[in-house]
Amino acid sequence: MRRRLLAWLAVLPLLLAGVVVTAPAAAAGPYCGQVWGSTAEGAPGMSAGRLTDVRAGRHPCFDRLVLDVDAPLTGWSVRYVDRVVMDGSGAVVPVRGGARLEVVARVGAVPTDALFVGPDTLVDTAGYTTFRHVAWAGSFEGVTTVGLGVRSRLPFRAFVLPGPGAGSRLVVDVGHRWCAAGEARC
C-alpha cells in the first residue's frame, strides 16, 4: 500500500505540470483581441434616406468597409453567402475572393459615376490584407446591396455609427485572421 501511495505522489507533480502547461493554450486569445464571429448580423426594417458613398480603410488587425447614408440607418444586414445576386434581377454578381459577404443597406441609392472606381467596382482594394473586391450589386425598391469579396471566410463585425450630421454609417470590419500568430485555438 505504501508503494502505491509513493508511486501516486511521484506521478502527481507530472500530472499537475501537464495541466499547468496546457491551460494557457486552451485559454489562448483571439487575434488582436477580436471576439468576432462569422454569422449573420443586422437589424430588421426599412430606412429612410439614400446611400451617398462607399469607402474602405486598412487597419493593423482588420480591413474596414463603410457605407455612408444621408439619414439614420435602421435596416441593414451583413452575411456570408455562396454568391451575391443583383437586386431586382437576381443575376449573379461576380465577386473576387475566397469568400463573399453580402452587405445590405435598406435604403435607396442613385448609382452615379462618382460611386465607382471601375465597372461594377466601388473601391480599389489593391494593397488590402483581407479585401479582394467591393462590387456593386444594385439598388431596387429601397434596398441597396454591395458584394464584399474577402480572402477567405474570416471573422467580422458590423454596426451602425451616427453622423456625420443627420446621416449614419454602416461599418463592416473583417479580421485579417482568426487567431494570433502561433496559436491554434482562439
Complete domains list, the chain, with CATH: 34-175 (2.60.40.3500)
The predicted-structure confidence for 167-186, as pLDDT tens digits, reads as follows 999 999 999 998 876 666 65
Q: pTM for the whole thing?
A: 0.81
The predicted-structure confidence for 29-87, as pLDDT tens digits, reads as follows 567 888 899 999 999 999 999 999 999 999 999 999 999 999 999 999 999 999 999 98
Tell me the torsion sign for CA atoms 155, 55, 131, 45.
Answer: positive
Mean pLDDT of the 1-21 span? 47
Tell me the torsion sign for CA atoms 182, 60, 55, 156.
Answer: positive
User: Over pLDDT 70: what percentage of the chain?
Assistant: 80
C-beta separation of 68 from 54 below 8 A? yes
